């Protein structure tokens, strides 16, 4: 049976590290805390297993054409239970995604979002009703509901692989980027799942949901553009047929974020974009993990 652990430990801002524990005799959520008097922050580790072994990543990029949304499936297929997670699932594609998980012999443990989407309803709520034990994940800063509310610096384990959480607000106040680890036995080159913070030759708009062009510019430059240049960039959307980019490419060729901040702010203030057609449905639903029926009963 899959065991899920929650660790809390202190971290120096300049030295993030991972601490592993032995599995418990029965599956439950465990919490432990170690404090360092010189540290002001804590990192929580959501772990589906423990121990360090050579791991093999299974990766699939899935697409929903109506909202041009990418959903990403990742799994540790070297682990006996093949634990997997889905990033940014769409409600209309839940059956497709779960069928693929079953065909590949994976055990889906997490369904997670990069932010509260305004252009589609997340599939996390529907998936929780179909997959026993599945946990939903979103940032604490989003002020929405999920089983696990993550923060900057947290590490989300699936088998012996993990994703590190980087806070990248600006498109919305609760945006995060999930990036693969930079320690041995993690995928190389690194992979960054950037949501709407950084898209291929673009970025998400900043004129609603607590957006800020100043904040977005600083988020991308301080959190994403500091990754190695060969880090692969996988966004939540693409509208022109691109599937992947790299940090190095976007630093040079992104027509918005390769500019200085004042130019970027001017560009974002003059996009003149239409009001998102799904926002009045999607945002309320996504604030409660995509459970539309729950919304109807509470209005």
Looking at the chain, list the stretches that DSSP marks H as alpha helix, in order from N- to C-terminal side: 94-103, 124-130, 213-219, 247-253, 261-269, 279-286, 292-298
- Residue 214 confidence (pLDDT) above 90: yes
Banded pLDDT at 17 (limits 50, 70, 90)? very low
- Residue 2 confidence (pLDDT) above 90: no
Are the CB atoms for 157 and 185 separated by under 8 Å? Answer: no
Taking Cα atoms as reference points, which of 67, 81, 157 lies closest to residue 112? Answer: 157
Q: How many distinct structural domains can be found in the chain?
A: 1
Lowest-pLDDT range of 132-141, 194-203, 277-286: 277-286
The rounded mean pLDDT for the chain is 84
Q: Give backbone dihedrals phi and psi of 169, rounded to 5 degrees, phi first.
A: -70, 165
Banded pLDDT at 184 (limits 50, 70, 90)? confident
The pLDDT value recorded for residue 149 is 97
What are 158's strand-pairing partners? 161
Domain with 238, as residue range(s), is: 57-298
Which 3 state secondary structure label does DSSP give 298?
Answer: helix
Check which CATH number belongs to the domain holding 234 and give it: 3.60.15.10
pLDDT digits (tens, 9 = 90+) for 108-139: 999 999 999 998 999 999 999 999 999 999 99
- Mean pLDDT on 269-297: 81
Which 3 state secondary structure label does DSSP give 149?
Answer: strand
Q: Is the peptide bond before 285 cis (omega within 30 degrees of 0)?
A: no
- Residue 209 confidence (pLDDT) above 60: yes
pLDDT digits (tens, 9 = 90+) for 23-47: 322 222 322 233 343 434 455 666 5
Are the CB atoms for 184 and 162 separated by under 8 Å? Answer: no
Residue 23 in domain: no
DSSP state of 269: H
Residue 46 in domain: no
Residue 216 in domain: yes
Residue 93 in domain: yes
- Mean pLDDT on 139-162: 97
Higher pLDDT, 199 or 299: 199
Lowest-pLDDT range of 101-110, 115-124, 272-281: 272-281
- Residue 102 confidence (pLDDT) above 80: yes
Taking Cα atoms as reference points, which of 243, 106, 255, 88 lies closest to residue 177? Answer: 88
Banded pLDDT at 294 (limits 50, 70, 90)? very low
Residue 6 to residue 8: CA distance in whole angstroms: 7
Residue 12 in domain: no
Which 3 state secondary structure label does DSSP give 12?
Answer: strand
Residue 189 to residue 247: CA distance in whole angstroms: 11
pLDDT digits (tens, 9 = 90+) for 226-266: 999 999 999 999 999 999 999 999 999 999 999 999 999 99
Residue 44 to residue 152: CA distance in whole angstroms: 9
The pLDDT value recorded for residue 5 is 41
- Mean pLDDT on 254-280: 95
Residue 254 in domain: yes
Query: Measured in whole angstroms, how far is the alpha carbon of residue 127 from the centre of its chain?
Result: 17
- Residue 175 confidence (pLDDT) above 80: yes
Are the CB atoms for 120 and 90 separated by under 8 Å? Answer: yes
**Contacts (Cβ under 8 Å, ≥6 apart) of 116:** 138, 142, 144, 172, 174, 209, 283, 286, 287
The pLDDT value recorded for residue 44 is 61
Residue 82 to residue 65: CA distance in whole angstroms: 28
Q: Considering the entire predicted model, what is its pTM?
A: 0.83
Residue 61 in domain: yes
The pLDDT value recorded for residue 43 is 59
Higher pLDDT, 165 or 294: 165
Banded pLDDT at 277 (limits 50, 70, 90)? confident
The pLDDT value recorded for residue 32 is 29
Residue 161 in domain: yes
Higher pLDDT, 184 or 179: 179
């Amino acid at each position: 049976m899959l065991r899920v652990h929650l660790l809390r430990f202190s971290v120096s801002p300049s030295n993030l590290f991972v601490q592993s524990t032995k599995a418990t005799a029965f599956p439950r959520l465990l919490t432990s805390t170690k404090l360092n008097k010189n540290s002001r922050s804590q990192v929580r580790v959501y772990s589906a297993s423990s121990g360090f072994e050579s791991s093999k990543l299974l990766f699939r990029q899935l697409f929903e054409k109506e909202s041009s949304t990418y959903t990403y499936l990742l799994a540790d297929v070297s682990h006996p239970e093949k634990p997997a997670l889905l990033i940014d699932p769409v409600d209309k594609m839940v059956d497709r995604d779960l069928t693929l998980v079953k065909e590949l012999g994976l055990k889906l443990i997490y369904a997670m979002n990069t932010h509260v989407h305004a252009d589609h309803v997340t599939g996390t709520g529907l998936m929780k009703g179909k997959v026993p034990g599945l946990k939903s994940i979103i940032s604490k800063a989003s002020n929405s509901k999920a089983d696990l509310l993550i923060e900057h610096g947290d590490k989300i384990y699936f088998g012996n692989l993990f994703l590190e959480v980087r806070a990248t607000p600006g498109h919305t106040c609760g945006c995060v980027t999930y990036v693969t680890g930079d320690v041995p036995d993690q995928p190389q080159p690194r992979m960054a799942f950037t949501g709407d913070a950084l898209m291929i030759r673009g970025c998400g708009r900043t004129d609603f949901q607590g957006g800020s062009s100043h904040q977005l510019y600083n988020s991308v430059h301080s959190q994403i553009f500091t990754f190695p240049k060969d880090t692969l960039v996988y966004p939540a959307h693409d509208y022109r047929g691109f599937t992947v980019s790299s940090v190095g490419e976007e630093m040079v060729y992104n027509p918005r974020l390769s500019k200085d901040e004042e130019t970027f702010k001017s560009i974002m203030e003059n996009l003149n974009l239409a009001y998102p057609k799904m926002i009045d449905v999607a945002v309320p639903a996504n604030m409660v993990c995509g459970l539309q029926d729950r919304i109807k009963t509470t209005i």
